Amino acid sequence: MRVCEHLAHSHYVAPKAHLCAECVAMGDTWVHLRTCLACGHVGCCDSSKNKHATKHFHSSGHPVIASAESGERWLWCYVDEQFVE
């Protein structure tokens, strides 16, 4: 992992939900959840067919997410396309 300049615009934000609201609204399921570190949006991962976390990045420009899965402690920067610390 490497330090990412986009972390300066991110901070821990409590997840707004413990589910993917977009998937629930569609009557669909997800694989894993991701939390946006700019606003707390929770979306499904890229292993999920709807990829709502990535869609949130493209619509909002918020670059850094964290895993919302219990026991996982990592961050991902969409801009740099890599794990960061």
Report pLDDT digits (tens) over 18-77: 999 999 999 999 999 999 999 999 999 999 999 999 999 999 999 999 999 989 999 999
- Based on the structure, what is the number of domains in the chain? 1
CATH number of the domain enclosing 25:
3.30.40.10
Q: Considering only CA atoms, which of 10, 29, 9 is closest in space to residue 19?
A: 29
Residue 48 belongs to some domain of the structure: yes
* Residues 49/55, Cβ–Cβ less than 8 Å: no
CA distances from 62 to 12, 21, 27, 35, 67 (A): 13, 18, 26, 11, 15
Domain of 50, in residue numbers: 9-68
Alpha-carbon span 70 to 81, nearest angstrom: 23
Q: Is the pTM of this model over 0.95?
A: no
Residue 30 belongs to some domain of the structure: yes
Res 2 pLDDT > 70: no
Residue-level pLDDT at 17: 81
Alpha-carbon span 53 to 47, nearest angstrom: 11
